[in-house]
Amino acid sequence: MPSQHILIIDDEADIRELLEITFSRMGLLSRAAADLAQARALLAEAHFDLCLTDLRLPDGSGLDLVEHVQRHHPHLPVAVITAHGSMDTAIAALKAGAFDFLNKPIELPRLRALIEAALKTATPPPDAPPGADRRATRLLGDSPAMDHIRATVAKLARSQAPVYIHGESGTGKELIARQIHDQSPRRTAAFVPVNCGAIPAELVESEFFGHLKGSFTGAVADRQGLFQAADGGTLFLDEVADLPLPMQVKLLRAIQERRIKPVGATAEIPVDVRLLSATHKNLADEVAAGRFRQDLYYRLNVIELLAPPLRERRQDIPQLAQHILDRLGQRGATPAPTLSPDALECLCRHTFPGNVRELENILERATALCDGDRIQPADLRLQQADDIRPDAPATHAPDDTPSLDATSLDATLIDHQREIIRRALEQTRWNKTEAARQLGMTFRQLRYRLKKLGIE
């Protein structure tokens, strides 16, 4: 990469020299500035591919430079050098838009990894390797909220900062995380999603960090953990609020040190992983309740992104519905039916407690149930679906369960409800609180419905 230029900003001459020598060994050109004023002047006169700045400078802070670059050279990545252990300043720099940070004393392998990653962000990301699995759908939607999310995703893809995505279930948090990865220079390495709530507490450490053969009963062979699987790529911690407290401590350490220790190993292994996390819970409340460590919260929540509920961006519904129907058509033997204008209007009025995932379920069911090639309002079964809305009043106390009246609720729908609820229960290993959440209803409403449908 002989033509790439790096701007070094540090007031200590020997650090400038060390960096210049390192870069020239990497085949990179560099120029150095001793303070902010010199740096600004150099930025105005020459083109750079990366800035590396100390935070404490004689005429201001490296954060001022991060802000200056954000404003005047928004595509130029800036990394900051921070004093060892000063995590607060590192986080402030990431929030201000720094691409990444480097602790003093500078470790050369880490410096090289940072430079390589930064220079990749400065050039357009390569195409995915042939045969790569392009699972992720595009983020669809015409609403200003989705425009904002797409623009933010494009910006965040250029940074290494941890991003915390929150929003109701089914709003597209995982899809957003995939998009950040897919648009980032890490896209040729793995995107590894993990549902933190689904791993038994006693196996979490081994799942995350791997283990050596014989390190515990059942460890019959060496096994790589999720951090190693995501090395060079992105680890997506879904439902991060469900991580057991002892594991939270270990995760924090792994993030800060950028090293992990497999269970049973004596030596640590360096890892280069970008962390994205999500939960439908309010993580700040979890911290206040003592269920989530504040220091880890602070470390994961460097940049926060909200996935808004579908009812707040109803104008996205037609495009999403069309996309879902097209996909169903590609999967099935016959083309998917189309929505009648009335059916579309009904969808646009629905509240979607289960968000886009609920829209997918409604359309899949309607495709199976409709006559001919047109979905009519009745095929959507929205009345009944609204019946299980979280905000729908719980009209029946669990103990005055009404008898099933086949005339008011047709048999197909009952079977369907039974199947949806049973699937949710199986997915959550019969955790009713979690199943109720996934279904977008209260625990009381689920209990009532279980009785009514005779599931126990």
Ligand X SMILES: Nc1ncnc2c1ncn2[C@@H]1O[C@H](COP(=O)(O)OP(=O)(O)OP(=O)(O)O)[C@@H](O)[C@H]1O
Q: Which residues make up the interface to ligand X (CB under 6 A)?
A: 137, 139-141, 167, 169-175, 238, 280, 307, 320, 356-357, 360
Q: How far is the CB of 264 from ligand X (least distance, A)?
A: 32
Shortest separation between residue 65's beta carbon and ligand X, angstroms: 36
Q: Least distance (Å) from ligand X to the CB of residue 140?
A: 4
Q: Are 181 and 156 in contact (CB under 8 A)?
A: no
3-state secondary structure 93-136: HHHHCCCEEEECCCCHHHHHHHHHHHHHHHCCCCCCCCCCCCCC
Beta carbon nearer to ligand X, 153 or 263 = 153
- Residue 223 or residue 357: which is nearer to ligand X going by CB? 357
Query: At its nearest, how many Å lie between ligand X and the CB of residue 426?
Result: 15
Displacement of CA 17 from its chain's centroid (Å): 39
Taking a C-beta distance cutoff of 8 angstroms, is the pair 356, 387 a contact?
A: no
Give dist(CA 356, CA 311) in Å, integer. 10
Residue 111 near residue 79 (C-beta atoms within 8 A): no
d(CA 41, CA 5): 15
Q: Decide whether 320 or 339 has the Cβ nearer to ligand X.
A: 320
Q: Residue 168 Cβ, how far from ligand X at the closest point, in Å?
A: 7
Closer to ligand X by CB, 98 or 276: give it. Answer: 276
In angstroms, what is the minimal distance from the CB of 203 to ligand X? Answer: 21
Q: Do you know the residue count of the chain?
A: 456
* Smallest distance from ligand X to CB 449, Å: 20
Q: Is 408 helix (H, G, I), strand (E, B) or coil?
A: coil
Identify which of residues 253 and 327 has a Cβ nearer to ligand X in the complex: 327
Residue closer to ligand X by CB (options 273, 356) is 356
- Token pair for residue 54? 């100390």
Q: How far is the CB of 191 from ligand X (least distance, A)?
A: 12
Identity of the residue numbered 414 = I
**For 100, left (φ over 0), alpha (ψ -120 to 50), or beta?**
beta
- Residue nearest to ligand X according to CB distances in the complex: 172
Closer by beta carbon to ligand X, 34 or else 176: 176
Cβ proximity to ligand X: between 174 and 242 the closer is 174
Q: State which residue, 49 or 286, has the beta carbon closest to ligand X.
A: 286
CB of 3 closer than 8 Å to CB of 122: no
- CB-wise, 165 or 273, nearer to ligand X? 165
Q: How far apart are the first and last CA of the chain?
A: 64
- State CA 159 to chain mean position distance: 14
Smallest distance, ligand X to C-beta of residue 178, A: 8
* Long-range own/partner contacts, residues 70-75 (CB < 8 A, 24 or more apart): 70/96, 70/97, 72/43, 73/43, 73/48, 75/122, 75/158
Interatomic CA distance for residues 135 and 355, integer angstroms: 20
**CA of 102: how far to CAs of 231, 254, 361, in Å?**
18, 15, 46
* C-beta closer to ligand X: residue 99 or 236: 236
Q: What are the strands, taking DSSP E only, across 199-251?
A: 234-238
Question: Closer to ligand X at the Cβ: 25 or 138?
Answer: 138
Query: Residue 179 Cβ, how far from ligand X at the closest point, in Å?
Result: 9
Measured from the CB of residue 302, what is the shortest distance to ligand X in angstroms?
20
Least Å distance, CB 280 to ligand X, is 5
Say if residues 189 and 233 touch (Cβ distance below 8 Å): yes
For the chain, how many helices (H) and strands (E)?
20, 16
Strand runs labelled E in 188-302: 191-195, 234-238, 259-260, 269-270, 274-279
- For residue 154, how many other CB atoms are within 10 A of its CB? 13
